[in-house]
C-alpha cells in the first residue's frame, strides 16, 4: 500500500519495518530506532490518517525517516509492500485482548499464526537480513509439568493442550505463533530471533491503553472492599523491551529465543512502591495470597548480549505519572454545569437515575 506522511529516507539510514507500529511496545521501538539516526522505519498501521497514530509522527526524526503504511498482517499483499526494501523486520503486531474472546480461534489464534506466517513469507521474498519476533513468556511457562526449581529459561515451552484445557487463549496464541515461526524459519532458511517479555509496564506514548497497563491500573483504582490477588508477577519496562529488540537485531551473535524479564515481585510489593511515591492514590490495600506464584524467568542469555534494565521503582514511577498525566488514575475533576443551569437546565436526583437504570436493565434481562 502507499506510504503516508513520509519524508525520504536519508542515504545512510537502513530501512527496517515495524508491524503494528502504533501499539505500546512498537511505539517505543519506533522511537528507539529513529532516535539513533541509523534507521528509516516502515511502520504498519491500519489507517495512517487515524489521529491515534499522531504520536508516531511527533517523534524526533519521524518527518525524515518514518513512513506509515496502511497494512494488515492478515493481508499478505499489504505486508509484502511494506517489507519491500527493508533489511530487517520487527514483527510486533499480535492480538492481545483485555477480556476472554468469545471465539478464540477466530479472534486470537488464527490471526496470531496467520499474521506471523504472512510476515515471514514476505521477509523471505524481500531478502530480509533478520526478523525479530515479539513473542511472550506466555509461550514459556504454561505447562502442567514445569522444570524443577523456581526459574524458567528459553528451553521451556508452554504446553498447547494445557493452554486449551485451561482456556488460556493468549498464551496458546503466542505458543502457536512462535512454534510456527521457528518451523518456517528452519524450512526457509530465514534468520529469526524471538524475544519473550512478561507483563510490560512503562510510560504510554500511544493515546490508547494497552492490556498490560490496564493490569497495573486496576490496582491503583481500588474500591477498598475487594481483596486483590497477591501472586508473584514478572514484569519489564517497555523501554527496556525496545532496547532488547534492537539489541537482538543488531547483535551478529544473537540467535534463538530470549526471555526479556526484569523483576519478579508480589503485587502487594508493587503497590507499596507506588503508594510511597503517590500516597494520594487509592491503591489496593487488601490482598489474598493465592496458590500458584509465577516462576521467575532467567534473562542471563539476553544480558550476555549486553541488555540492561531499569529499576522497578523507575518503571513504576514513570508508568504512574504517565497514567496520571492522561487522568487514567488520580482524582477525577468535578465539572461545573453552572452555565447550562443558567439556561434553565435541571437534572434528576442520583437515586432516581440509578433506580430507573436498574429497572431498565432488569426488564431487558441484563440484571435479574
Distance between alpha carbon 120 and the CA centroid of its chain, in Å?
A: 20
Cell of 74: 492478515
How far apart (Å, rounded) are the C-alpha atoms in residues 177 and 116? 6
174 labelled catalytic? yes
* The Cα angle at residue 258 between residues 254 and 263, in degrees rounded to 5: 135
How far apart (Å, rounded) are the C-alpha atoms in residues 155 and 170? 20
Order of strands across the sheet that contains 66-70: 3-4, 66-70, 39-45, 14-18, 88-91, 130-134, 192-196, 256-259
Contact 199, 234 (CB under 8 A): yes
Chain length of the chain: 368
Closest CA to 106 of 6, 173, 22: 173
How far apart (Å, rounded) are the C-alpha atoms in residues 316 and 274? 7
**Sign of the CA dihedral with 182 first, then 188, 189, and 191 last:** negative
- CB half-sphere exposure, 99, CA atoms < 13 A: 2
**83: which strand partners?**
none
- Residue of 8, 54, 174, 355 with catalytic role: 174
How far apart (Å, rounded) are the C-alpha atoms in residues 162 and 168? 8
**41: which strand partners?**
16, 66
What is the radius of gyration, based on Cα positions, of the chain? 23
Cell of 111: 490471526
How far apart (Å, rounded) are the C-alpha atoms in residues 154 and 177? 16
Residues classed as catalytic: 174
Amino acid at each position: 500500500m502507499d506510504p503516508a506522511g513520509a519524508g525520504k529516507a536519508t542515504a545512510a539510514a537502513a530501512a527496517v519495518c515495524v508491524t503494528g507500529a502504533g501499539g505500546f511496545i512498537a511505539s517505543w521501538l519506533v522511537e528507539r530506532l529513529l532516535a539513533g539516526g541509523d534507521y528509516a522505519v516502515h511502520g504498519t498501521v491500519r489507517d495512517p490518517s487515524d489521529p491515534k497514530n499522531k504520536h508516531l509522527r511527533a517523534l524526533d526524526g519521524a518527518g525524515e525517516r518514518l513512513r506509515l503504511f496502511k497494512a494488515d498482517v492478515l493481508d499478505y499483499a499489504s505486508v509484502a509492500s511494506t517489507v519491500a526494501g527493508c533489511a530487517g523486520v520487527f514483527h510486533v503486531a499480535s492480538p492481545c485482548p483485555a477480556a476472554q474472546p468469545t471465539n478464540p480461534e477466530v479472534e486470537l489464534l488464527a490471526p496470531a499464526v496467520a499474521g506471523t506466517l504472512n510476515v515471514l513469507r514476505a521477509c523471505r521474498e524481500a531478502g530480509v537480513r533478520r526478523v525479530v519476533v515479539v513473542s511472550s513468556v506466555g509461550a514459556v511457562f504454561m505447562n502442567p509439568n514445569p522444570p524443577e526449581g523456581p526459574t524458567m529459561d528459553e528451553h521451556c515451552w508452554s504446553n498447547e493442550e494445557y493452554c486449551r484445557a485451561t482456556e488460556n487463549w493468549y498464551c496458546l496464541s503466542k505458543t502457536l505463533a512462535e512454534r510456527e515461526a521457528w518451523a518456517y524459519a528452519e524450512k526457509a532458511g530465514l534468520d529469526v530471533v524471538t524475544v519473550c517479555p512478561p507483563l510490560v509496564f512503562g510510560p504510554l506514548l500511544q493515546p490508547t491503553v494497552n492490556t498490560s497497563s490496564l493490569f497495573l491500573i486496576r490496582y491503583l483504582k481500588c474500591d477498598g472492599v475487594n481483596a486483590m490477588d497477591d501472586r508473584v508477577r514478572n514484569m519489564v519496562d517497555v523501554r527496556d523491551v525496545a532496547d532488547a529488540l534492537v539489541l537482538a537485531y543488531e547483535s551478529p551473535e544473537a540467535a534463538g529465543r530470549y526471555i526479556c524479564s526484569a523483576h519478579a515481585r508480589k503485587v502487594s510489593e508493587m503497590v507499596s512502591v507506588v503508594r510511597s511515591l503517590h500516597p494520594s492514590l487509592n491503591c489496593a490495600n487488601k490482598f489474598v495470597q493465592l496458590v500458584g506464584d509465577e516462576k521467575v524467568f532467567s534473562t542471563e542469555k539476553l544480558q550476555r548480549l549486553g541488555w540492561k534494565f531499569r529499576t522497578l521503582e523507575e518503571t513504576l514511577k514513570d508508568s504512574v505519572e504517565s497514567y496520571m498525566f492522561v487522568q487514567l488514575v488520580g482524582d477525577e475533576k468535578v465539572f461545573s454545569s453552572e452555565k447550562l443551569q443558567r439556561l434553565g437546565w435541571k437534572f434528576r436526583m442520583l437515586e432516581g437515575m440509578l433506580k430507573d437504570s436498574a429497572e431498565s436493565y432488569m426488564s431487558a434481562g441484563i440484571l435479574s
